[in-house]
A = this chain, B = another copy of it.
Amino acid sequence: MRTLLFLVPWTLLAQGPPARIVSPEVHADRRVTLRFRAPNAAKVMLNREGARPAEMTKGENGVWSITTEALEPDLYGYSFNADGVSLIDPVNPSMKPNLLGTTSMFHVPTADASLAWERRNVPHGAVHRHFYDSAICREARDLYVYTPPGYDPKGKTKYPVLYLLHGFSDDARGWTAVGQAHFILDNLIAEGKAKPMLVVMPLGYGDSGVLLNRELRFKSFELFRESLTKEIIPLVEKAYRVNADRSHRALAGLSMGGAETLFIGLNRLEVFSHLGAFSSGGLPPDLAATFPGLDAKANAKLKDFWIACGKDDGLFAANNKFVEFLKERGVKHEYVVTEGAHTWLVWRRYLTTLAPRLFR
């Protein structure tokens, strides 16, 4: 039986042989039990996306646990907080990558994969990772491109493109690893609800120094605008069969990416015709200076301008204020106020609502 031992990765060998901990345990009634071994911690909390922090209870062998109420089917981010330190669940391989704090994730499934972002037995697109050196951002970068089912690089069909931006502290993986944008599009396309389109997901920092120094954020917005329009769009339009004109380009994003969508989109109406701003945050406070000359003339160019925010989002007031600014300027838009807070629980739904509106 020696070979079995050899298959155990070094990290597990180093850990010794503790009793196996099961976490998360998703029960049939949609309650979820989380467990975390921390024999000497004084206090362990569960932080779950969409819920208040909750105290966990210490049981045998130093294992802390908690069982939630029955949850609505969805993907939930979570982390443990042991004596003030946020930690992933070490026995759960499902993670939410994040540049300032990786967390864990669990799935409360539906019986019939009826959530828009659940993987179904439908034709799947593919997700392509490209590597490029950004002269504008002075950094080696990657970006992800979703191509829809049936995309044929040798075919004659050309596709429209949604440029989809992540939030502050996420990276270019966010909209696939957490947002499940690829499955959302697969499902909407299979149902005939969304037009087949490419989705381009770049790293959204013009200056990634902004992660540690938020004073850089407006400079970062400006550099990202330059990189998007001068580096990323040309790269995509060279590598893929796409319609390279404004009526076939949409821009959308969440949180910081929502603010970038507004900042870039409304100042580059010659580039984009569809905009979607989800739970936007981080615009410069002087809106008049940020959007010089914005007025009702934009309406002829904006085929669709969709704004959404959750009522419990800390950014709700800022979104309301921005919508008032649009009204003052006579810029047509649709503003949708939903349940929910500043979490992926709303952003997956927003993409599911936005994608069918695009390129009609």
Contacts and interface: CB of A to CB of B under 8 A. Distances in A.
A318 B3 contact: yes
Interface in A39-80: 39-42, 45, 47, 49, 53, 62, 77, 79
A99 interface: yes
Interface residues of A, number: 82
A182 B18 CA distance: 36
A283 B7 CA distance: 11
Contact of A129 (B93, B99, B119, B128): B128
A98 B90 CA distance: 10
A113 to B, nearest CB: 10
Contact of A90 (B4, B87, B342): B87
A138 to B, nearest CB: 12
Contact of A12 (B87, B101, B126): B101
Contact of A281 (B6, B81, B84, B98): B6
Interface in A284-334: 285, 314-315, 318
A86 B15 contact: yes
Interface in A104-142: 119, 121, 124-133, 140
A87 B98 CA distance: 16
A32 to B, nearest CB: 18
Contact of A95 (B102, B119, B153, B186): B102
B39 A81 contact: no
A6 B93 contact: no
20 contacts: A3-B282, A6-B314, A7-B169, A8-B168, A8-B169, A9-B168, A11-B77, A12-B100, A14-B86, A15-B101, A37-B85, A40-B42, A119-B131, A121-B133, A124-B130, A126-B128, A126-B131, A127-B129, A129-B129, A131-B186
Interface of A: 2-12, 14-16, 18, 37-42, 45, 47, 49, 53, 62, 77, 79, 81-88, 90-91, 93, 95, 97-103, 119, 121, 124-133, 140, 153-154, 167-169, 171, 182, 186, 214, 217, 255-256, 281-283, 285, 314-315, 318, 341-343
